Amino acid sequence: MDLATIIGLLAGVAIIVGAILLESGIMDFVNIPGLAIVFVGTIAVTLTKFRLFTIASSFKLAFSTVFLERTENPVVIIQQVKELSNIVRKEGILGLENTEIEEPFLSKGVALCIDGHPSEFIEELLIQELEQSLERYEAAEKVFRGIAQTAPGLGMLGTLVGLVQMLNNMGDPSSVGPAMAVALLTTFYGAFIDQVIATPLADKLNLKAQDEHRNMSLVITSVQNILKGQNPRVITEVLATYLPPQQRDILMAEE
């Protein structure tokens, strides 16, 4: 579970709700016409911008990666690769047949090696999977950035609707309040969706994509070096270049 995402979202919502409750009631910020303009309007525009399958898969990817710490620690992958390379040095590539590998992408690469496929074919297949994974993250990020761009715009449209209604009914004081509520609250709803939900989730998806790219690139390099029968220490030094300096120092200190 990615606690940073959960804590951040909950804290953001809590701060806004707390500020509302300090001076008024939560129902003062509930306006059905405004909610319809912004929330339903944002859904409608998103459906217009993207395919339904893309939207569904984007939300699925977001909730399975943003809220869950699915990305493997690269140090753990490197340590496992070192163990695998030691086995290959002693028993050959077939010595990995009964070895349990937790990281799915690494397991697939090792399975291809055991099956005896040419190294060029294995590399091409793994690179294709990496590119497809990045495309899924990119599509999901675009969906949430699209939502972040749409919601404030619809908030402004709601503001204009409220202002027009207010100006058209200046002779009826009882209609001014509801019209002004639509005008102000739609802007609030749009900003809330943008700044508290959509943009942070898009940024986190981008970060997760970078982590995924690093780990998958690390695995591809690992498989290439295992096929070459490289010394485990040399493989570790090569893979350590994928790590930030602090993690790299910790890993090399364990050698």
Report which of residues 15 and 23 the model is more confident about.
Answer: 15
Is-above-0.75 flag for pTM?
yes
pLDDT given for residue 100 in this prediction? 86
Q: Does residue 231 carry a pLDDT above 80?
A: yes
pLDDT of residue 40: 94
- Taking the CA atoms of residue 48, residue 52, residue 57 and residue 59 in that order, the dihedral angle to the nearest 10 degrees is 50
The C-alpha atoms of residue 190 and residue 183 are separated, in whole angstroms, by 12
- Which pLDDT belongs to residue 74? 87
**Helix, coil or strand: residue 253:** helix
Instruction: Quickly state the pLDDT bin for 134 (edges 50, 70, 90).
Output: very high
4-8, 35-39, 78-82: segment of lowest average pLDDT: 4-8
Mean pLDDT across the chain, nearest whole number? 86
Which of the residue ranges 20-34, 53-67, 149-163, 207-221 would you say has the lowest mean pLDDT?
20-34
